Amino acid sequence: MKKIKTDSLFSEEEQQQNISLYLLRREIVLSGQFRFILNIVLFFLLTSFSQFSFAQSKGSSKVPFRFFFTLEHQTIKGKLGGYRFHTVKLRKYHRISETDTVENFGGRWVVKGIMNDNLKPVPFRVSESAYPDNQSIKITNPNNFFNRTHIELEFPDSVQFFGAGEQFSYVRLPENLKKPLPLWIEEPGIGRGDLPVSLLTRPVGVSGNKHTTCYALPLWITSDFQTIFVNQPNKLIYYQIYRKKGKKYLHLVVSGNELQVQVQKHKDVKSLVRNISFFKGHTGIPDFGYSGVLGLQGGRKRVDSILSLTLNSGVAVQSVWIQDWVGKRKVSFGSRLWWNWQANEQVYPDFPHWVDSLRQKNIRVLGYINPFLADTGFYTTEALRNGYVLKNSKGEHYKINAGGFDAYLVDLFHPEAAEWMIEIIRKEMIDKGLSGWMADFAEWFPPDALTHNCKGGCAVLHNMYAAEWARINKEAVKRAGKEDDIIVFHRSGYYHSSMNTTLFWMGDQMTDWGKNDGFPSVLNAINSSALCGIPFIHSDIGGYTSVKYPLVRTLRSRELLYRWSELAAFTPFFRTHEGLNPELNFQYYSDLEALAFFARMSQIHYSLKAYFLALQNEAIQYGFPVNRPLWMEFPDDKETLNAFHQFMLGSEIIIIPVISPNKTQVKGYLPAGTWQHAFTKQQFSGNKWYIFEAPQGTPAVFFRKNGEWDAELSKIFTNFVQ
């Protein structure tokens, strides 16, 4: 049995990330003195426990694998705090104690018993459906003293793990973790360990790490096509993967005295994704979304000028996205958006008329919103008066330092506040003519906050805040009757967010080549999200976060923008962002050469519209992601498990992007079949690794010969052969 460590579930590095993690960690910290005493007590308890096993009732299926479970108490009361552990080891065919009972109900068995730790008896109940391909395990204990429940599932050492939501530093989940990781949505951080920028961001607690994510899911996927899912949305959940004695273990921890986990076996990756997808039944991306989307700002005059230049240069574009439609406010270090959710007529005069005039020219306008309210403003006053914002532990309005000013988070769990927010979106955005928006910032719910319906212990609502934000945005669009005509894209997500969101974007990558937070992290996000059933995802072309200091400089270069555009042309939403420092970053409109390059990539993207729409129908009907790893299409080819630096568009196109600077070649794998280079017409046989030539403008992209789309894709790419 693995010894459970009593260290905090959060490391010192995680403590520095933000105040939310600090507050949560503070509740479970142990003193060094108490750990010594606890180890002695644990040794006594663990050596005195009885060992139980599940007996096989006549006609029932065998238990699919061995597992352990643990009940744990965490407390913040008293000077030292403490843990207590109660452990039972479960083994097949081992004799059950006479004090325990085994019941079988037509393929579902239940074990009931008493754990005796020589201090007091503890009743438990473990139930499992014994169907070979669908194991549903439930551990319950009636004693509310226990507020953490663990389960450790055993797998062969050859099994690899994926999932847990969108990942940026890896697709294959790390093993031999020293302690469980929290499934905790947050801003992924700036740098995430990449040097040198993390040297600046780590001391101030905003660097993030390799595990931080803005879209977490309690879902794990194995290389032998199993899924492990914890269906307890209003719980704190942690996970750990480790090796011991030739086996691998998935260790799950859930807050409370009950744990429910579902383990399912599937025939391949596509059937796995089809079963887990929360997206089925969605309407997909509106038609205009498959043309380019220009991220511009700076006021009506500037946007009109750059848009005109762009259209005259042959760029395929049908939308402009203006995040500063609300205007900006000056702060000590620059400027920030006004979070008052009303059009700024000084920056964008006659806003509704301007939006309508662009629509008449076949150009849609998209905006920006988040669930914060600035410290001053009409809607802020109204929200504070009606009690529509989160409260702190004293019952006061919870002020959050948003960077240069204080702000309040709307209490989305308050029914009246949710309706009020829906009405703001309708009145200020939809009725003003906006065809969509970025729905940002749902990761900031403080764990010590109080809501309308929760007066303590509300940290369990942190992740669900993002899901509620997605629901509210969708409800506003639905009530307006424009589900087929409005695009809403989110950064954060949890549980059912996908079914309430048009698409997602990957957050704020650095404008550099960093493995964990730069351009290469986009590939990990694409492939990991696909395996978690997230069907539509995209990134800011060229990245967002840039810094310029004497010794640290991460500004977008021409080469980075070009390579990012090559990748983005094969994702469903082709959207630019000027970045954190527009005047310092290289832009697609910086010179005529860049405009010509960007026009070519946008035209490639738009020429694939029919193919994108076919893939969208697959996503709606089956939940299949538009972009996906090779492993999804070729699950029996073990080499595809080593090819996460590339991805597919549907089942017919493979993209192998150049993700390092100053390179004109790229290594990639082609699976079974014959594959034709999209831009040179050269054909390659599959089941082989190659070194491909990939100069700027001619990315390594291949489509399947003799496939369903062979003729159509051949015709499309002929127009772009160089």
* 484-516 pLDDT per residue, tens: 999 999 999 998 898 899 999 999 999 999 999
SS3 309: helix
How many angstroms separate the CA atoms of 207 and 187, rounded? 10
Q: Tokens for 673, please give them.
A: 């079949």
559 belongs to the catalytic site:
no
For residue 221, give Cα distances in angstroms to 48, 171, 254, 533: 35, 11, 18, 11
Is 438:366 a contact under the CB 8 Å cutoff?
Answer: yes
440 belongs to the catalytic site:
yes
In the prediction, which pLDDT does 73 show? 55
In the prediction, which pLDDT does 556 show? 97
Catalytic residue chosen out of the listed positions 443, 512, 517, 540? 443
Catalytic residue chosen out of the listed positions 14, 128, 508, 566? 508
Catalytic residue chosen out of the listed positions 14, 187, 440, 468? 440
Proportion of the chain above pLDDT 90, given as a percent: 70
Is 632:653 a contact under the CB 8 Å cutoff?
Answer: no
How many angstroms separate the CA atoms of 202 and 214, rounded? 18
Q: Which residues of the chain have pLDDT under 50?
A: 1-66, 75-102, 104-108, 114-121, 130-131
In the prediction, which pLDDT does 21 show? 25
Which is it for strands 334-337 and 292-296: parallel, antiparallel or unpaired?
A: unpaired
Measured from the Cβ of residue 231, the count of other Cβ atoms closer than 10 Å reads 12
Q: What pTM does this model have?
A: 0.86
Residue pLDDT, tens place only, 194-243: 999 999 999 988 999 999 999 999 999 999 999 999 999 999 999 999 99
Q: Tokens for 713, please give them.
A: 């894709």
In the prediction, which pLDDT does 577 show? 97
Q: What are phi and psi of 610, to 5 degrees?
A: -60, -40
428 belongs to the catalytic site:
no
In the prediction, which pLDDT does 256 show? 85
In the prediction, which pLDDT does 453 show? 93
